[in-house]
Structures are given as C-alpha cells and as structure tokens.
Amino acid sequence: MSNTPNGLSIEVVDRIAKVTLDRPDRLNALSSGLICDLIEAFDRFSADDDVWAVLITGSGSRAFSAGIDLKEMNEADQSQRAPTLPMRGVQRNVFEVILECSKPVVAALNGVAVGGGCEVALACDIRIAAHHARIGLPEAKRGLGSNFGCQLLPRLIPRGIAYELLYTGELISAEQAQRWGLVNRVVPGDALAEEAMNFCRQLVANAPLTLRRYKAMIGKGGELPLAAALRLHVGPNPYHSEDRAEGVAAFLEKREPVWQAK
C-alpha cells in the first residue's frame, strides 16, 4: 500500500488497484495536490501490467468526495491568484485521465459525491452507491462551472434530466440516481466495500484484453454512426491473442482459464 502526503491511498490486491480519497476531515475534497496524485496514479494504471481493474472510493462513510476544495480555492482568491480554466494549464484534466484509463474503473460511492466528486464518479465506467449516498452538481449554487459534468451527464441520462440537475444544483438520492441509470447498483452502506470489491473480482476473472477492447470501442465509437463504429479497430485485439486460444481451450477442457493479458 502507498499513501501520498496529499491524501491518496493506493493498494493493489489480486490485480485490482483500490484507490481511496483519504481526506476525511475535508470530506475527501479534491485539493490541487490530490488532483495531481490522481492524474499520476491513473496515468500509471493504464501501463501497469499488474493492474487489471481500478476501484475508487472515499474514506469514511460521509463522503465519496465533496468536490473541489473550496477552502483552498478561497485562499487562492484572497491572494488574487487566477484560477486555472477547464482543459487549460500544464497538466491534463483529472476527469479526462480517469475517463481514458484503459482498464475498467469502478466507483464505490460511500457518501455524498458532489461537484468535482460527482465528476470523478461520472468519469468511471461503473458506479455502485451506498444507500445513503447522494449525488449532484451544485456548481450553480456557488457560481462555479461543471465543464466535464455538463458534457458527460447528457451522454449518460436524458438531456432534460441533465438540464434539471445542472440548473437546480440539487442533490439526488442513490435510488433516484439508479432509476435514471446514473448508478448501476445501490447497496447497504455497511456492505458497499465488499460488494464493490467482489464486483471487481468478477471483472478481473474475465479476459482482460476483451474488457479493454470493450472500453476502447465504447469510448471511441459511442458517438459515431453505427456503420463507422463497426469498422473501428481500437484497443487491444483479442481475436488474435493467446488469451482467446486459452479461453476456448479452457471451455472445452471444462476448467477455469488462466489469462495472461497477451
């Protein structure tokens, strides 16, 4: 396990990288240092052969993440430092880096996921929420913007509902988020950690190159016309892989496959 001074904890177990936003005293708010650590970690996961899936959660039971650290932002305002605009600056956008991680990414929402914390969750492939979790983008109540959220949210749920969430800035319950397709599962809070880890174990039990292919194809082809999307060739090629031959052989021999990600 590794822990950064900025509050990011990473543990790799059974090919699952468990990432914990560990600033419970600040409701796991995204400070500039924590954002830098997340960018570095997710960039590394894409190339790490020991990581086949990523699980991200928050410390404690109150918050997945309360979003951008407003205390830090206020201190910057008082010193008259100009804020960095979305998709500008010397480093990549953290939400984009999570979205484009080549491995499956699961969010375990252990509490409120608001603002930038909600955007972290939106950048993940799968969202599993504790029953008490609440989700939303309250930037309209703070005079902020939600650059990533206002682009991704209408791609995940009906546009009218996306407008409502963005315009009102209100938070919704985990159950409502599930009804709208914003989260995949809602589970009791005390069962979240185990449920999320078991789900990730289910992912890494499948052929890793196939899952990475799915992610690349959906990510690159989701907005293309079907005829163009069907002709995409992105991500690893499972059809010519050693794992494809192993999967077929294991099925015929009635045994569990041994994947090599090759």
Report whether 100 contacts 123 (CB < 8 A): no
The active-site residue out of 11, 72, 96, 119 is 119
Active site residue 11: no
Candidates 207, 213, 209; CA nearest to 247 is 207
CA distance 239 to 233: 11
Question: CB under 8 Å to 92, separation ≥6 — which residues?
Answer: 39, 43
Task: Give the count of beta carbons closer than 10 Å to the beta carbon of residue 188.
Answer: 10
Report whether 130 contacts 193 (CB < 8 A): no
Report whether 238 contacts 213 (CB < 8 A): yes
Active site residue 119: yes
The active-site residue out of 96, 139, 170, 246 is 139
Which sequence positions are flagged as catalytic? Answer: 119, 139
